[in-house]
Amino acid sequence: GSADYMAPEQRENAAAVDHRADIYALGVILYQILTGHLPVGTFTPASKLNPSVPSAVDRVIREAGLDKHQIMAVAVSEGPGAFTGLRVGVACAKTLAFALGWKCAGVPSLEVKAQNVDQAECGCRFTCPVMDARRGRVCGAVYRWQDGWQDVTGVLCVEPQRLARRIPEGTLIFGDGIRAYPEVFRAERFHIGAEELQIGRAPHVARLGLERIKAGRDLDPVALVPRYYRLTYPEEALLQESEGKG
């Protein structure tokens, strides 16, 4: 690509870069879209060049009955999820944090989905969102109710059978990973939740992000990156080829 959109490390050695170079390029593109200028050297924050930046965010803020200057932070689902969606979402959050001086926080996507479960209604002690990660794997995390859903296992990206063994019997499970492997996630052992529970909700992202920021767990925008929890198909193929040659 054009040198103006390349991360510094990409200019030095294009073979050694990872997904962060894509995020850098997206950030440059977003800055250029918002201001009409490229962010070269020590560049001016986008909000200084364009007081109305960004219009989409301004529209959401207006609908919420707020003024842009009342907003001090941005939160984003950091993964697991679709690779492209995570890259774009995180790049937008990073750009907003850089341009407007906001704090930022990344929230695990599975934790966001767990908030959809009404513990009082289901009466369950545990819940586990299960996402189909393709190519014989699922992503999941077990949450236990303790004045809120608390992460027990962390994000696991493993074969369906391995995840099923980590989930306590009677847990409320939900997500497209359940539909992909019904022979593993059986109703005789688990409670199967409604399909709509798998949809991540923006209010949950905002609340969980605010909790992290209040606890001092906000991130420098540079440190905010998407978390895929597994290699892409080309990366897996390259690794297998390399192992085969070794």
Sorted by sequence, the CB contacts under 8 Å of residue 40 that are 6+ apart come out as 4
CA dist 198 and 220 (Å) reads 29
Task: Please determine, for residue 246, whether its predicted confidence score (pLDDT) is greater than 90.
Answer: no
Going by C-alpha positions, the residue among 214, 198, 216 that lies closest to residue 206 is 214
Q: Which residue has the tokens 């939740």?
A: 193
Is the pLDDT at 58 greater than 80? The verdict is no
Average pLDDT of span 89-118: 91
Q: Is the pLDDT of residue 91 over 80?
A: yes
Percent over 90 (pLDDT), the chain: 53
Given a cut of 60, is residue 48 above it in pLDDT? yes
pLDDT for the residue numbered 233 = 63
Helix axes 83-100, 19-35, angle to 10 degrees: 50
| Cα–Cα dist 158/242, whole Å | 22
Average pLDDT, the chain: 84
Cα dihedral sign for 222, 224, 229, 230? negative
Residue 6 corresponds to which amino acid?
Answer: M
